[in-house]
Amino acid sequence: MTNSVMPTYGRLDVAFTKGEGAWLTDTTGRQYLDALSGIAVCNLGHAHPAVAQAISDQATTLIHTSNLYHIPLQTKLADKLTDLSGMEQVFFCNSGAEANEAAIKIARKYGHEKGIDKPVIIVMDSSFHGRTMATLTATGNAKVHAGFEPLVPGFVRVPYNDLDALRMAISHWPEAVAVMLEPVQGEGGVKIPDDDYLIAVRDLCTQHKVLMMVDEVQTGIGRTGKWFAFQYSEDVLPDVIMLAKGLGNGMPIGACLVAGNAVGILQAGNHGSTFGGNPLVCRAALVVLETIEKDNLLDNVNKLNNHIVDGFKQALAGQDKVKEIRSLGFMFGIELTVSCTELVQKALDKGILINVTADNVVRLLPPLMINMDEANKIVTMVSELIIDFLASQANENEA
C-alpha cells in the first residue's frame, strides 16, 4: 500500500479501532489478545477508565502552559517518582530517546565541569537507546547506525554483562564520564544480566567517579515486577535513570531522574522541552502510578510471572530448537535456535500480538493487569505457534 505516511516502519496489515484491557479490536470487528502492550507502553491495558477520566478532565481544564511557569501537576509527579525511585530530581520530556538525550547531556556537562574536554560515555553491545543521533550512536546495533554516519563522537562500546571488559574500558579511558546501560536488554533479545552485575557496575562507577546511567525506558514503571529493574540489585542507586513508555500508558511522556553526582548539573538554559511535563501528560502519569499501587499490579506481575514461565516450560519441553526461556516480571523472551521473525504475522493470524526481536527471540510484554485466564491464553497460543512453526520447518527440511 502506498500512502503519505513515511515508510519508516514495516507495518503488519491490520489497524485497530478500539481497545479494552488486554484486548484490541480491528476494523473488521475481530478481537486480538495484546501480549505486547504497544511495546511496553499500555501497562494498564487499553482505555483504562481512570486514565481516560483523568485525561478527559484535564483536557477540559488545562492542557498546556509551558515550562516558563510553575506546573503543580509536574511537581506532584516529580515528587512521586523520586519517592518511588530514591532519586532526587526529575526533568520531563516526551519520549525515551529524549530522556536518554538528557542523560547524555548531563554526562557530558559533568565531564566538562571536571575539566574533561572530550568526555567519553561507555555503552553496551546489543543495547537500544533510541533513534536520535546521540541515542542511535549509543545503541549497540549496526543496523540502527547504517546510513546515518558520521555518528556522534564520545562513545565507546563494551560487551553487556562483562565486568572485565567494563573494568578495562574505565581504566583505559581517563575521559570516561558515564556508563549507560539497560538493566535488562529489551530490543537486544530480553537479555538479563547476572544477579550481581549492576552492583559491580555501581561499585566501578563510584570508584572511578563515573556516572551510572540506567535506561529504564522499557523496564521501568512496574514492567519487571518492581517499580524499577535496578531495584533488584541491593543497595544500588544509579546517578541517572531514564523513563518513558509505561509512564503515560500511551500519553507521550519521558523523564530523566538524577541523584548524587548528577544533581545540579543541568541549570536554567542548559536544556528544555516545549511540551515536556505539561499538565495533561502529568495528570495521566499520576493516575498510572496510583493505579499500579491501588490495584497491586506489581504483585500481579510477580504472581503470574511464575505461572506463565512454568506454563511455557511445560508446553515447550522436548522442543530442541527452544534454546532458553528468559523472564523478569512481565518481560518474556523465548529464544529459538532458528530465525523466527515470521511468527509475528502467524501470531496476528491466530489473534494474538507478539514481537520477535534479535531475529530469534519471541518477546512478550503483556499488560501488567492481565488475569489468570488471559495469562493461560498467552501461554497456550504462543506455545502452539512455536510448536507448529518448528514442526513446519522440520517438514520443510525433510522435503
Ligand X SMILES: Cc1ncc(COP(=O)(O)O)c(C=O)c1O
Residues forming the site for ligand X (CB under 6 A): 39, 95-97, 100, 128-130, 182, 186-187, 215, 217-218, 244
Question: Residue 256's CB: how many other CB atoms inside 10 A?
Answer: 29
Question: In this complex, which beta carbon is closest to ligand X, that of residue 128 or of residue 312?
Answer: 128
Measured distance CA(155)–CA(166) in Å, rounded: 13
Q: In the complex, what is the shortest distance from the CB of residue 188 to ligand X, in angstroms, rounded to a whole number?
A: 9
Between 278 and 383, CB nearer to ligand X: 278
Say how many CA atoms lie within 13 Å of 82 toward its Cβ: 18
**CA–CA dist 174, 320 (Å, integer):** 47
Smallest distance from the beta carbon of 271 to ligand X, in angstroms?
16
- Complex with ligand X: residue 43 or 218, whichever CB lies closer: 218
Sign of the CA dihedral running 324, 330, 331, 333: positive
Residue nearest to ligand X (CB): 96
Report, in Å, the least distance between residue 159 CB and ligand X: 17
C-beta of residue 329 within 8 angstroms of C-beta of residue 192: no
- Is there a contact between 70 and 229 (Cβ–Cβ < 8 Å)? no
Which CB, 357 or 383, lies closer to ligand X?
357
42 vs 97, which CB is nearer to ligand X?
97
Work out how close the CB of 98 gets to ligand X at its nearest, in angstroms, rounded to a whole number.
7
Q: How far apart are CA 357 and CA 127, in angstroms?
A: 12
Q: Is 258 in contact with 105 (CB distance < 8 Å)?
A: no
Catalytic entry in 91, 215, 312, 389: 215
In terms of phi and psi (left: phi > 0; alpha: psi -120 to 50; beta: otherwise), the region of 60 is: alpha
Decide whether 144 or 176 has the Cβ nearer to ligand X. Answer: 144
- Residue 371 neighbours by CB distance under 10 Å: 12
Query: What value, to the nearest 5°, has the Cα angle with vertex 201 and ends 109 and 172?
Result: 65
CA 15, distance to chain mean position in Å, is: 23
Q: Taking the complex as a whole, how short is the minimal distance between the CB of residue 216 and ligand X, in angstroms?
A: 8
Nearer to ligand X, 101 or 239 (CB): 101
Task: Report the alpha-carbon distance of residue 320 to residue 311 in Å, rounded.
Answer: 17
Q: Is 330 one of the catalytic residues?
A: no
Cell matching residue 8: 519508516
Closest CA to 160 of 190, 191, 203: 191
Is 245 one of the annotated active-site residues of the chain?
yes
Name the pairing type of β-strands 331-336 and 240-243. Answer: unpaired
389 is catalytic: no
CB of residue 395 to ligand X, shortest distance in Å: 35
Please pick, among 91, 92, 128, 389, the residue that the annotation labels catalytic: 128
Instruction: Identify whether the C-beta of residue 221 lies closer than 8 Å to the C-beta of residue 257.
Output: no
Give Cα separations from 368 to 129, 130, 338 (angstroms). Answer: 23, 24, 29
Q: How far is the CB of 142 from ligand X (least distance, A)?
A: 17
Nearest-angstrom CA–CA distance, 292 and 108: 35
* Active-site pick, 226, 230, 245, 332: 245
Residue 94 in contact with residue 256, Cβ under 8 Å?
no
As annotated, the active-site residues are 128, 215, 245
